[in-house]
């Protein structure tokens, strides 16, 4: 796999799988993954629509390791298994990382998709495009984020914008191409409303943010976390992710249809999920010490809070990275980019809890059963929002835009 520096030296004009293979990046794994995808060719998503719900999409920027999070392989050799143990969950036979005890207790309300996969370039930007837009953008035309499509198609009588991104878009992650976070070719004005500051930190002015959003004068300010009990804020964790999840709950409660929460804005020189094991990136020790406890606390609290308020069934929570990590530890004890397989966590939105969709092989190297493409996840999001995944939209340029081409939704 290419490092960030190697990827940044490649041109951005052709990020197709074939283009990256010519650059020497994907190798035999990409070919194997492509064959698996071809073997599991996806049927059409159909024309049925679903309840008009809301979505909280948590982007675990950097790409968490499947082995150190939701798909441990305790019987694999140590160089594959990694340094962490696994624990039982509330669902018999399902084990996850020992550092996710809260989510383990709540597994009966969660869904794990252990066979996420794509065969495009193993860079952050490609994964984000696929997840956020249902496909790859062209150099001259970005595909719109699913939140922009929701803003275009859905109405709201709430006190907050239809599509909010917390705290703002992902910035530079190695290659200067789109992350698929805006209105794109559909309409730039449909892009997200952003808070521009991390909730609960200096610089986060809830009144000014609400005024800019047109939310003042319509009841309680959904952006004001000071309205929450201190114990509630503590339950989520006083972190960017924790307070962002709390704000996401408040926004959904006030009528927002899509909340996109970016855990980080870059992968360089800060603790993120991009665990190459050497600077300027992170390590698996950062997972143990910071990332896993933060994720465990925040998502556990979000699931509990939404359920307690009667909102979980109508609100889909998605927490996923843009790819997985190499099944074998590298020379620094870290793991590199690996889009052949990873795990996404889902909860709510009408999904039955306590289930695992798909499976990876014995070393978490590629899907073993039911490969799930990013567009399948995007189509699932559209279903929850009450938007037909088979929809083809007219664009200002006069071309048709298939919002989730050839998808196979999970519901």
Write out the DSSP string of 256-271: -SEEEEES-S-SSSS-
What does the pLDDT read at residue 215? Answer: 79
The pLDDT tens digits for 172-230 are 999 999 999 999 999 999 999 999 999 988 889 999 999 888 877 666 899 999 999 99
Give the count of beta carbons closer than 10 Å to the beta carbon of residue 292: 24
**Confidence grade of residue 157 (pLDDT, cut at 50, 70, 90):** low
Residues 329-379 have pLDDT tens digits of: 999 999 999 999 999 999 999 999 999 999 999 999 999 999 999 999 999
pLDDT, tens digit, for every residue of 315-336? 999 999 999 999 999 999 999 9
**Cα dihedral value 123, 349, 317, 222, nearest 10:** 130
Q: With 90 as the cut, is the pLDDT of residue 29 above it?
A: no
**Cβ–Cβ under 8 Å, residues 87 and 95:** yes
pLDDT surpassing 70 at residue 47: no
- Give dist(CA 164, CA 395) in Å, integer: 22
The model's pTM is 0.88
CA 363 to CA 159: how far, in whole Å? Answer: 47
What CA–CA distances, in Å, run from 227 to 34, 223, 246? 50, 9, 11
pLDDT for position 217: 65
Please report, rounded to a whole number, the percentage of residues in the chain having pLDDT higher than 90: 80
Read off the pLDDT of each residue in 83-103 and give the average, rounded to a whole number.
98
State how beta strands 110-116 and 193-194 pair: unpaired
The string over 81-105, giving b where at least 16 C-beta atoms fall within 10 Å of a residue's C-beta and e elsewhere, is bbebebeebebeebbbbebbbbbbe
The H or E element spanning position 346 is strand 342-348
pLDDT above 70 covers a percentage of the chain that reads 86
Band (pLDDT 50/70/90 cuts) for residue 41 is very low
Q: How confident is the model at residue 51 (pLDDT cuts 50, 70, 90)?
A: low
Q: Within its chain, how far is the Cα of 261 from the centroid?
A: 9
Mean pLDDT of the chain: 88
Contact (CB, 8 A) for 18 and 382: no
Is residue 37 pLDDT above 70, yes or no? no
- Find the range with the poorest average confidence among 11-20, 56-65, 393-402: 11-20
Q: How far is CA 402 from CA 23, 135, 146, 411, in A?
A: 29, 9, 12, 19
Report residue 334 CA to chain centroid gap. 21
Distance of CA 10 to the CA centre of its chain: 25
Q: Would you say residue 31 has pLDDT above 80?
A: no
> What is the structure's pLDDT at 155?
79
């Amino acid at each position: 796999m290419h490092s960030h520096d190697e990827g940044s030296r490649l041109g951005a004009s052709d990020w197709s799988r074939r283009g990256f293979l010519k650059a020497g990046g994907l190798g035999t794994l990409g070919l194997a993954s492509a064959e698996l995808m071809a073997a599991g060719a996806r049927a059409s998503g159909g024309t049925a629509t679903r309840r008009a719900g809301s979505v909280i999409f948590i982007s675990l920027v950097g790409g968490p390791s499947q082995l150190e999070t939701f798909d441990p392989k305790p019987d694999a050799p140590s160089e594959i298994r990694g340094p962490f143990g696994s624990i039982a969950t509330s669902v018999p036979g399902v084990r996850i990382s020992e550092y996710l005890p809260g989510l383990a207790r709540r597994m009966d309300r969660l869904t794990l998709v252990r066979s996420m996969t794509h065969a495009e370039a193993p860079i952050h930007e490609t994964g984000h495009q696929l997840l956020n837009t249902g496909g790859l953008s062209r150099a001259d035309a970005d595909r719109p984020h699913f939140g922009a499509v929701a803003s275009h198609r859905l109405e709201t009588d709430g006190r907050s914008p239809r599509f909010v991104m917390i705290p703002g878009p992902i910035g530079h992650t190695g290659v200067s191409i789109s992350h698929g976070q805006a209105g794109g070719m559909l309409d730039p004005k449909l892009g997200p409303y952003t808070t521009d500051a991390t909730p609960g930190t200096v610089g986060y002015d809830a009144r000014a943010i609400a005024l800019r959003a047109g939310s003042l004068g319509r009841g309680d300010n959904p952006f004001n976390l000071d309205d929450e009990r201190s114990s509630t804020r503590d339950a989520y964790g006083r972190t960017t992710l924790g307070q962002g999840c709390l704000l996401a709950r408040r926004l959904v409660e006030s009528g927002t249809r899509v909340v996109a929460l970016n855990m980080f804005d870059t992968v360089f020189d800060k603790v993120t999920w991009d665990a190459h094991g050497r600077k300027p990136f992170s390590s698996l020790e950062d997972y143990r010490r910071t990332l896993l406890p933060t994720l465990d606390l925040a998502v556990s609290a979000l699931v509990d809070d939404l359920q307690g308020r009667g909102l979980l069934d109508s609100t889909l929570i998605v927490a996923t990275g843009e790819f997985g990590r190499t099944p074998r530890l590298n020379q620094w004890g870290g793991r590199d980019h690996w889009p052949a397989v990873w795990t996404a966590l889902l909860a709510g939105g009408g999904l039955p809890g306590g289930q695992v969709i798909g499976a990876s092989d014995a070393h978490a190297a590629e899907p073993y059963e039911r490969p799930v493409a990013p567009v399948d996840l995007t189509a699932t999001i559209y279903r929850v929002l009450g938007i037909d995944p088979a929809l083809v939209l007219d664009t200002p340029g006069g071309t048709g835009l298939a919002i989730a081409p050839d998808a196979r939704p999970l519901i």
